[in-house]
Amino acid sequence: MSRYLLGRAGQAVLAIFLALTVVFFLVRITGDPVILFLPQDVQPKDIVYFRHLLGFDRPVWQQYLSFLGGAVHGDFGRSLRYRTPALSLVVSRLPATFQLAATSLAMVACAAVPVGIASAARRGTFVDNIGIAATAAGQAVPGFWLGLMLIWVFGVWLRWLPVAGYGGWTHFVLPSLTLTAFYAAQIARITRSSVLDALGQDYVRTARAKGIHERGVLARHVLKNAAIPIVTVFGLNAGQLLGGAVVTETIFAWPGIGQYILNALRGRDFPVVMVGVFLTSAIYILVNFLVDLSYVWLNPQVRYG
């Protein structure tokens, strides 16, 4: 097991390093950031001068090496736009994203899993059809449209909830509803499908034949076996949410990491982009790893070593 852990840790470092390198060179393809910073009456030779001041006239490999040298010490440089250290800027946006992600994931789990199980247990009935239609619809609506509709109805029309921004629990309702709609639909479908799969297994038929109570059958054996795919997709979703739901954060003015990285990309703020990629890939890999570990607990036949 410890060999497995070590192996995974090594692979994680490699993956993060790869991601950083690829992104480093790719952002530079999108062009140099200097012109975005300077006033419109800037002279061409001033642009050259500023490029030199900011260090963008050095050969790319030299910029890369100096970036790596700093990154290893946790110094990702200063944000080109904000002029303060990039790492602390981005990290300060994590709590807002994590809180929204946690709220949404909790809502998804509470809503989607029971719906999926109910749908599977009542397969072929009216309840099931409604479930299928609702979940198919939930995945078919563009997120930003839903968000704006919610803002109009609850923020402007009824004025029950604030329109945008980060604050007390009332500010969490609309953004997490918007996120939950999509992910809940996905999880419900997966839950239904994997529970149906598990219900079709031989051991379930055997248990039923033995006369074990339906509820007992479901709870103990089926759910645990059905859980693996659900946990996998849940983990994928968690990784995405923790990395920042860009569209939702933009619509609701949520000061999260997703919107921050988008603005950094638009503003060619390279240091912030690099920190953002570093953090989101680290989060994603960590979540993936936790999901893989959970397999051991859920299905004793899975072994790593």
Partner 1 sequence: MAESARWLVPRTGALRRGGRGLPGLWRSRTGTLGVAIVAVAVLCAALAPVLAPYNPTAAQFSTTLRPPSAAHPFGTDQLGRDVLSRVIFGARISLLVGGVTVLISGFVGCALGMLSGYLGGWLDAAVMRLADVQLSFPFILLALTINAVIGAGLQTIMLSLVVAGWPLYVRVVRGEILALRHREYVQAAIATGARNGRVMWQHVLPNVATPIIVVSTLQVSQFIIAEATISFLGFGIQPPTAAWGGMVSDGRNYIFFAWWLTAFPGAALALTALGVNLTGDWLRDTLDPRLRT
Partner 2 sequence: MAVGGLGPGPASTAADAQAHNQITIGIGSEPLTLMGATIVDWTTNAQLENIYDLLFTRDPKTEKIIPWLATGYRILDDKTWELTLRKDVRFHNREPFTAKAVKFTFDYLLDPKNKTHYLPRFKSVSGVEIVNDYTVRVHTSEPFPAFLDNVSLPGPFMLAPEYVQKVGIDYAAAHPIGTGPYTFKEWARGQSLTLAKTPSYWAGAPAIDAVVFSVIPEFSARLAALLSGQIDIMKDVPPQAVDTVNRSGRATVRTTVSSRIDYLAFETLHPGPTQNAKVRQAINYAINVDELRTSVLGGMATRICGYVGRYDSAYDPAIKCYDYDTKKAEQLLREAGYDPAKLTLTLDTPSGRYPLDKEVSEAIAAQLNKIGITVHVQVNEWRDHLDKVINRKAGDMFFLGWGPDLQPIGTVDQLFVGTQTYSGFDDPQTDAMINKSVQIVDPAARNAAFRKIQEALHPMAPWVPLWNQHDLYGVANWIAWAPRPDEKVWMWEAKAK
Select the binding partner of residue 2 from partner 1, partner 2, none (C-beta < 5 to 8 A, by kind): none
Decide which of partner 1, partner 2, none touches 35; Cβ closer than 5 to 8 Å per partner kind.
partner 2
* Three-state secondary-structure class, residue 268: coil
Instruction: Rank residues 89 and 230 by Cβ distance to partner 2 and give the closer one.
Output: 89
42 versus 134: smaller Cβ distance to partner 2: 42
5 binds, among partner 1, partner 2, none (CB under 5 to 8 A by kind): none
Total number of residues shown for the chain: 305
Where on the chain is the footprint of partner 1 (CB under 8 A)? 11, 14-15, 18-19, 22-23, 26-27, 29-31, 123-124, 128-129, 132-133, 136-137, 139-145, 148-149, 152, 156, 189-190, 192-194, 196-197, 200, 228-230, 232-233, 239, 243, 246-247, 261-262, 265-266, 273, 276-277, 280-281, 284-285, 288, 292, 295, 302
257 CB-near residues (< 8 Å, 6+ apart): 90, 93, 94, 96, 97, 243, 244, 276, 279, 280
Least distance (Å) from partner 1 to the CB of residue 148? Answer: 5
Query: Residues with Cβ < 8 Å from 147, sequence gap 6 or more?
Result: 174, 175, 178, 247, 248, 251, 252
**CB 189, min distance to partner 1, A:** 4
Task: CB nearer to partner 1: give 49 or 127.
Answer: 127
Say how far apart CA 254 and CA 260 lie, in whole Å: 10
Contact 77, 67 (CB under 8 A): yes
Q: Write out the residues near partner 2 by the rule CB under 8 A.
A: 31, 33, 35-44, 46-47, 49-50, 53-54, 81-84, 89, 92-93, 96, 148, 151-152, 155-160, 162-166, 250-253, 255, 259-260, 263, 266-268
Region of 141 (left: φ > 0; alpha: ψ -120 to 50; beta: rest) is beta
Residue 165 near which of partner 2, partner 1, none (CB within 5-8 Å, type-dependent): partner 2
Nearer CB in complex with partner 2: 91/290? 91
Between CA 174 and CA 139 the distance in angstroms is 17
What does 255 bind: partner 1, partner 2, none (CB cut-off 5 to 8 Å by kind)? partner 2
The SS3 assignment for 85 reads: strand
Q: HEC string of 90-110?
A: HHCCHHHHHHHHHHHHHHHHH
